[in-house]
Amino acid sequence: MTADLRTYLAHVELPNPILTASGCGGTGRELAQFSDVHRLGAFVTRSITMAPRAGRPTPRMAETPSGLLNAVGLQGPGVEAFLERELPWLAERGARTVVSIGGGTVTEYTALARRLAGVSGVTAVEVNLSCPNVEDRGRVFARDGSAAAEVVASVRAATPYDVPVIAKLSPDVADVVAVARACVDGGADALAMINTPVGMSIDVDSMRPALAAGTGGLSGPAVRPLAVRCVWQVHAALPGVPIVGMGGVTTGRDALELVLAGACAVAVGTALFHDPYACPRVLRELEELLQARGFDRLADVVGLAHRPAGAQPRTRTDLEESSL
Amino acid sequence: MTADLRTYLAHVELPNPILTASGCGGTGRELAQFSDVHRLGAFVTRSITMAPRAGRPTPRMAETPSGLLNAVGLQGPGVEAFLERELPWLAERGARTVVSIGGGTVTEYTALARRLAGVSGVTAVEVNLSCPNVEDRGRVFARDGSAAAEVVASVRAATPYDVPVIAKLSPDVADVVAVARACVDGGADALAMINTPVGMSIDVDSMRPALAAGTGGLSGPAVRPLAVRCVWQVHAALPGVPIVGMGGVTTGRDALELVLAGACAVAVGTALFHDPYACPRVLRELEELLQARGFDRLADVVGLAHRPAGAQPRTRTDLEESSL
Amino acid sequence: MSREDLVAGSPVQVTGTVLTTRRVDAYHALTVVAPGIADRFRPGHFVTVAVGGRNTSMLTRRAFTVHDVKPDYGGTVELVFGVRGAGTAWLADLRVRDTLDLVGPLGRPFPLPRDPCTCVLVGDEHGAAALFALGDALQQRGCRVDFVLGAPSADRVFGALRARRMGETTTLTTEDGSLGMRGRVTDVLPGVIADARADVVYACGPMETLRGVTAVSAEFGIPVQVAVEERMACGIGVCMTCVVPVIGDDGVTRMVRACADGPVFRGERVRFDDVGTIPFDALGAPGGRHA
Amino acid sequence: MSREDLVAGSPVQVTGTVLTTRRVDAYHALTVVAPGIADRFRPGHFVTVAVGGRNTSMLTRRAFTVHDVKPDYGGTVELVFGVRGAGTAWLADLRVRDTLDLVGPLGRPFPLPRDPCTCVLVGDEHGAAALFALGDALQQRGCRVDFVLGAPSADRVFGALRARRMGETTTLTTEDGSLGMRGRVTDVLPGVIADARADVVYACGPMETLRGVTAVSAEFGIPVQVAVEERMACGIGVCMTCVVPVIGDDGVTRMVRACADGPVFRGERVRFDDVGTIPFDALGAPGGRHA
Ligand SMILES: Cc1cc2nc3c(=O)[nH]c(=O)nc-3n(C[C@H](O)[C@H](O)[C@H](O)COP(=O)(O)OP(=O)(O)OC[C@H]3O[C@@H](n4cnc5c(N)ncnc54)[C@H](O)[C@@H]3O)c2cc1C
Ligand SMILES: Cc1cc2nc3c(=O)[nH]c(=O)nc-3n(C[C@H](O)[C@H](O)[C@H](O)COP(=O)(O)OP(=O)(O)OC[C@H]3O[C@@H](n4cnc5c(N)ncnc54)[C@H](O)[C@@H]3O)c2cc1C
Ligand SMILES: Cc1cc2nc3c(=O)[nH]c(=O)nc-3n(C[C@H](O)[C@H](O)[C@H](O)COP(=O)(O)O)c2cc1C
Ligand SMILES: Cc1cc2nc3c(=O)[nH]c(=O)nc-3n(C[C@H](O)[C@H](O)[C@H](O)COP(=O)(O)O)c2cc1C
Ligand code: FES
Ligand code: FES
């Protein structure tokens, strides 16, 4: 028996729930040295910007306990080069590609969405809201429900109806549910969480920040409890909205934790740096865990930890009727 | 040569910068089995409430990668029993005691401050702002600058002028500097950070949240990058305000990291659970690190990582003039 | 520190060398050189150990009953454990001459009867590990000792041989019937108490077992001492994560620490039905009585 | 995967057994059985290793040059490293028969000259480890090889003996004068190039050294290949943390990955003065040119 691992981002079906996390899978070519990109639920690109970006100076990384700080600064070749050299390669290999976009203004996000509109091979658009809003003194969009909603609404408007728009949220807020709700009200078809909270490390030998940029984004297992909490809270408040959960997933157990909290798909980021085979491995482990628990459909487990205390896990029978 | 490790919380001098973190040192008696409480810079009590509190059901703890989730729920005997049975014991042993207080309303915090006013043996009052505001649908005070400021102002007003009031902040906000500033404007003499961000863990075997309370506070080395970042940001914005840094300190290097970021005192929490001698050990290690770097005064290192890139560490001479 | 704080049982931290490792059916046994702990040990004490080595991602110490202490090398302690998660898996991989960081002895040991009497010692699964040092101490005071040991299956019944050597009688139970009587320790306990005309019961094991043992003892009207297990973040009484609802001498239920106020309690004082809740009438319960 | 992705150097992940461990002055050398990696190895390749064991708090792999490969046991690789932080300390504690998780071979190896010529190989500190497999390959092509090895002190000069055996000449430098000439490799390099009438220079070591070596080579108008070290989170080209400013064939400076586009670059293409910055004229620099 193999479990039915299909999942849906809005109406788009993915063969399995394991994605790469934005910015962690390169262009796809690097991972393809280790395993097929079309075996992924979807490949999520690093956040694409309008113009080429050189990113931040080095050092760009620092290791922290069970975590990684990075300040890459969205280095990339810009959307034109992406469409010319990267997306076609992914499409040829049959990968479903979620294109992450990043910008400094609503206009820039909108322009990116327009540029992607109608391009074949774009399975979904993920809006990286953790970019500084240059028109609001660099305040990150994701920290402000209305700014986030504005970006989402304009990207949604510029994107063909059959391409889902995923809003990617940050945990660095007082109320992640409020931002999630604003994004859904703004037209997000799905939500992704969590982007990296802002952290910092100081080198006690040089007595200076370990990263050239000072602060960086914290990822890896250290942040998993924050990710599980965000997914849990948002799924509780918006049970109908598909969630791509991520943050510190290194094993099938970690992925299952996010699924039980309410994620219908799970992205793997930092773990890829440690294990380039992490995606197929996590998928295999997740499938084994589901089977060991008597589930033959992923969909039946999404959000299952929310059932009232003492309630039995739903039986096969009522699961037949349930849908995502 | 021994380094001068004295530090100041406003005008109150502490012989050294190493404190216990609230809720992590019991009543002091338990730690005294291992080392003297009067050797601490100060002993910080668990958050004291007006009435006795039984706290949350068990399981109250779950381990996460390099972290610990807890949901103790401020279990304690209430302020009267604290004043009768716990504070006198600490005072007798010569411990400097920072009394942490927690409440559900501004009135409750004020009442606690009044009850502590004039009681001998209270070195400072720390206001745990990570309590749910029962008058604002359980929104945590620390997540809302004006609610936090209101609590701080009323505690400040009820507290004798010579007892500093420390506002303890949470990282679960979009802008920790804004909350810090609000607290200082409200009268806080010092700031403590970070309290535990809210996290969650799901047991993939029982397929239920690992904590009875569902969510819990995340502590330990996993959160240190968040703590360093908060201390850094707040020290940069409010360089004159003394900061008690905490979050994942397990060694003298970790303590130095927070000091370089801008903390003039450092609290040790979760590390005590692993090593009951953590406080004296961290202090000794910190002193050794300072000496190895040619510093003979802690004060000279506070915030040193903020010096402009390329600048030499200040020399002994200009340090003679600098003050905290 | 003033004299009064330096109580006899006051714990120490020791980095001990592993002297022996062995497998005992489903269990692993580790003997570690830890003089300061062995010296202070009383039956019922536990220790906590750091797991995972330097740079481990596992922050919390793991708690284990001290199975045995010996005077060799200035004092050794033996722990017996089953592999449950990553921490115990790491412990199971330790080799002779590796070092282990221990804190102990911790907790309040079993109270011993002043005068010789007949004691039934009940151990479910690894709970049995706590009973042999206790049995020794009881026998030294002239007590008669009877054992009841149980587990789901034969390989998880710990210490049957030693029990047979020490005990006046030894009754074994397994849920699958692979050793002794089919069933649980609580099924055979009434018979053992009656046959031995027991004066007191001691029990270690899962909460559910302790609840049953307490109920049986109550029926016979004899005192019972239980050693409970609750998830512990510190083991030394500072974190308040390990609480159980226990009725005090004043009749008031309090959430008390299994590590520092226990792990041994009088069975009838533990509100087993309410473990994992805050009983509405506990001191400080939400909406409950305030003292 | 399509054929074209299966390039010759394509890396694999291997859990290898440690065959030997030894100390070489200030360095540790580990030989690990890793057939798939040894097979594909070319001089200049590196591997990344997981450190800390199961449940480690150290997430990122550590990168090490492959010092040597041997055909024994289907293929072994040898790493040489100094203890720097927690990861290398853990590696230094590995014992024979422990296992090590490696990914490799990674990076672009040293380009070799088509025709026999004279090559100066410069190694500063552990950088020297990369040079011996390279020297072998060069000699197999009939090249003359001269070594310049340096370090702050004698115990940190790696491979002097082997260099003396292999090289036409070997010049050693130490900053404290404890071995060879007092000074740095760049101090003696002009003399070595001139004496050997060198056609090409290969260099491994800290950025500062590579900068100096590149400057010297430029003065002589001969090509130089440098292997750079930048902090790496992945080693396989996906994370973009390891970038250095490098001038492309089109004259445009790009922030390129040391792991996947390097670690070997033509020295004059690396903007050493701008390492640790984003040069204002780099592609995509803030306010800079956009292609
Ligand atoms: C006072 C006391 C004495 C004990 N004596 C023994 C003994 O002699 N032999 C034995 O095999 N086991 C004993 N246990 C249980 C033992 O502590 C757990 O099996 C062990 O902590 C599991 O660790 P792990 O990393 O393998 O499992 P995990 O489930 O991965 O542990 C995760 C976390 O949960 C905690 N935890 C998990 N199970 C328990 C538990 N049952 N009790 C307390 N904390 C737990 C761990 O400490 C850790 O923090 C005792 C527990 C207590 C409280
Ligand atoms: C391509 C390449 C080849 C290398 N070859 C060798 C070699 O043959 N012998 C040798 O001794 N060392 C070599 N190094 C350096 C080696 O990777 C570091 O010494 C090692 O990562 C330090 O790990 P640590 O945990 O001991 O130190 P820590 O300072 O605790 O490491 C913390 C983090 O910083 C990273 N880091 C620290 N220093 C370096 C560095 N110099 N380069 C890259 N990442 C670093 C680590 O990977 C880790 O993520 C090489 C580095 C690179 C990039
Ligand atoms: C090196 C690095 C680069 C990243 N780049 C991006 C990015 O371009 N866009 C984005 O939305 N998230 C980016 N992220 C965040 C990840 O997509 C993910 O949200 C986060 O790392 C948490 O998942 P993890 O713990 O599995 O890595 C990046 C993370 C890392 C570590
Ligand atoms: C078990 C536990 C109980 C805590 N109780 C309190 C408390 O009562 N009041 C408070 O302000 N902070 C409390 N904290 C938070 C700590 O004081 C500290 O801010 C946090 O744990 C981060 O530091 P650490 O990583 O060193 O533990 C508690 C933390 C833990 C782990
Ligand atoms: S385990 Fe910390 S108080 Fe009991
Ligand atoms: S180390 Fe990740 S791209 Fe080079």
Task: Assign residue D138 the CATH number of its domain.
Answer: 3.40.50.80
Residues of chain C contacting residue D52, judged by C-beta atoms under 8 Å apart: 55-56
- Confidence class for position A2, pLDDT limits 50, 70, 90: confident
d(CA D188, CA D184): 7
Which range has highest mean pLDDT (B135-139, D177-181, D266-270)?
Answer: D266-270
> What spatial distance separates the first Cα and last Cα of chain C, rounded to whole Å?
32
Which helix (H) or strand (E) element contains residue A80? helix A79-81
Which amino acid, D252? Answer: V
The answer to whether residue A203 is domain-embedded is yes
Neighbours of C139 (CB within 10 A): 16
The answer to whether C105 and C267 have CB atoms below 8 angstroms apart is no
Q: In a 10 Å sphere around its CB, with 0-12 CB exposed, 13-18 middle and 19+ buried, how is residue D73 labelled?
A: middle
Structural domains in chain A (count):
1
Give chain D's domain count. Answer: 3
Q: Which of C27, C48, C64 to mutate to test the pocket of ligand 1 (most atoms within 8 A of CB)?
A: C64
Cβ-Cβ contacts under 8 Å for B311 (sequence gap 6 or more):
none
State the helix-helix crossing angle for B252-261 and B224-237, rounded to 10 degrees. Answer: 30
The CATH number assigned to the domain holding C97 equals 2.40.30.10
B208–A232 C-beta distance less than 8 A:
no
Say which amino acid occupies A244.
V
pTM assigned to the model: 0.95
What is the span of the domain harbouring residue C240?
231-290
> Does one domain contain both C140 and C57?
no
Mutual angle of helices B252-261 and B278-292, in 10-degree steps? 60
| Phi, psi at D134, each rounded to 5° | -65, -45
Query: What pLDDT sits at residue C288?
Result: 55
List the single residue in B with minimal CA-CA distance to C50: B274
Same domain, C136 and C64: no
Q: Which residues of A are catalytic?
A: 131
Asked if the structure places residue B73 within a domain, the reply is yes
> Is the domain of C264 the same as that of C184?
no
C235 and C175, same domain (yes or no): no
Number of C-beta neighbours around residue B181 at 10 A: 19
Q: In chain B, which stretches have pLDDT less than 70?
A: 1, 309-324
Tens of pLDDT along C238-263?
999 999 999 999 999 999 999 999 99
Q: What is the mean pLDDT of chain C?
A: 93
In angstroms, the CA A23 to CA A76 distance is 10
Determine the distance separating the centroid of ligand 5 and the alpha carbon of B301, expressed in angstroms.
35
C190 interface with D at CB cutoff 8 Å: no
Averaged pLDDT, C48-65: 96
DSSP B84: I
Ligand at minimal distance from the CA of C61 is 1
Please, is A228 exposed, middle or buried when counting C-beta atoms within 10 Å of its C-beta (0-12, 13-18, 19+)? buried
CB burial of residue A92 (10 Å; 0-12, 13-18, 19+):
exposed
Report the distance separating Cα B61 and Cα B210, nearest Å. 8
**Inside any domain, residue C251:** yes
Report CA C252 to chain centroid distance, whole Å: 25
DSSP symbol at A59: P
Task: Return the closest-CA partner of residue C1 out of B28, D126, A294, A117.
Answer: B28
Confidence of residue A314 (pLDDT cuts 50, 70, 90): very low
**Contact in structure between B159 and B151 (CB atoms under 8 Å):** no
pLDDT band at A136 (very low <50, low <70, confident <90, very high): confident
Q: Which chains touch B (3 or more CB pairs under 8 A)?
A: A, C, D
Q: Where are the beta strands (DSSP E) in chain C?
A: 12-24, 27-33, 46-49, 62-65, 68-70, 76-81, 99-106, 118-124, 144-151, 170-174, 181-182, 200-204, 224-227, 243-247, 253-257, 264-266
Residues of chain A found within 8 Å of residue D10, distances taken between Cβ atoms = 33
Q: Is the peptide bond before C245 cis (omega within 30 degrees of 0)?
A: no
**Helices B176-185 & B145-158, crossing angle to 10 degrees?**
30
Looking at the structure, tell me whether residues D147 and D191 fall in a common domain.
yes
Residue C88: pLDDT over 50: yes
Q: What 3-state DSSP class applies to B88?
A: helix
- Residue B289 φ then ψ, to 5°: -65, -40
Q: Does the residue C111 lie in any domain? A: no
C-alpha distance from residue B9 to each of A247, B163, B181, D200 (Å): 37, 10, 17, 63
Residue D6 confidence (pLDDT): 39
Can you tell me the distance from the alpha carbon of B264 to that of B16, in angstroms, rounded to the nearest whole number? 10
Distance CA(C173)–CA(C151), nearest Å, equals: 7
Residue B15 near chain C (CB below 8 Å)? no
The pLDDT score that the predictor gives to residue A315 is 40
Does B175 map to a domain?
A: yes
Please report whether residue D112 resides in a domain. no
C113 belongs to a structural domain: no
Quote the tokens at residue A75: 């280095």
The rounded mean pLDDT for chain D is 93
| Contacting partners of chain A (3+ CB pairs under 8 A) | B, C, D
Q: Which residues of B touch C277 (CB under 8 A)?
A: 57
Could you tell me which residues of B are annotated as the binding site for FMN?
22, 128, 168, 194, 220, 247-248, 269-270
pLDDT score at C10: 86
Kindly tell me if the per-residue pLDDT of A42 is higher than 60.
yes
Tell me, yes or no, whether B238 lies in a domain. Answer: yes
Q: Which of D193, D227, D261 is the last residue of a domain?
A: D227
- Biggest CA–CA distance in chain B, Å, is 62
- Ligand 2 centroid–CA D82 distance in Å is 9
- Residue B36, C-beta contacts closer than 8 angstroms, at least 6 positions apart: B93, C1
pLDDT digits (tens, 9 = 90+) for D28-72: 999 999 999 999 999 999 999 999 999 999 999 999 999 999 999
Same domain, C70 and C7: yes
Ligand 6 contact via D237 beta carbon (within 6 Å): yes
CATH number at residue B141: 3.20.20.70
Please answer whether residues B235 and B305 qualify as being in contact, where contact means their C-beta atoms are separated by less than 8 angstroms: no
Comparing CA positions, the residue from C98, C100, C87, C69 lying closest to residue C231 is: C87
Q: Dihedral through CA A251, CA A257, CA A262, CA A265, nearest 10?
A: 0
Asked whether the predicted pLDDT for residue D215 surpasses 80, the reply is yes
Whether B185 is covered by a domain: the verdict is yes
CB proximity A65 to C under 8 Å: yes
Which residues are within 8 A (CB) of A71 and not within 5 positions of it... i.e. 6 or more apart? A56, A60, A61, A211, A212, A213, A214, A215, A216, A217
- B133 lies in a domain? yes
Of D62, D84, D106, which one is at a domain's C-terminal end? D106
> Using 50, 70 and 90 to split pLDDT, how confident is the model at D288?
low
Nearest CA in chain C to B76: C284
Residues D14 and D102 in one domain: yes
Which tens digit of pLDDT belongs to each residue from D62-110?
999 999 999 999 999 999 999 999 999 999 999 999 999 999 999 999 9
| Among the partner residues A33, A55, A72, nearest to D10 by beta-carbon distance | A33
Q: Which of residues 218-247 of B touch D (CB under 8 A)?
A: 221
Using a CB-CB cut-off of 8 Å, the residues of chain A touching C57 are 65-66, 221
Between CA B217 and CA D21 the distance in angstroms is 44
What pLDDT score does D290 carry?
47
Query: Which structural domain, as residue segments, surrounds residue A213?
Result: 7-321
Report yes or no on B1 lying in a domain. Answer: no
Pair A182, A146: CB distance under 8 Å: yes
Q: Are residues D173 and D269 in the same domain?
A: no
What pLDDT was estimated at residue C64? 97
Q: Is residue A2 part of a domain?
A: no
Q: What kind and span of H or E run contains A184? A: helix A176-185
To the nearest 10 degrees (0 to 180), the angle between helices B145-158 and B106-116 is 30
pLDDT at A313 > cutoff 80: no
How far apart are the C-alpha atoms of C244 and C254, rounded to whole Å?
8
Provide the pLDDT for residue A269.
98
Closest to D34 in 3D by CA, of D53, D55, D49, D21: D49
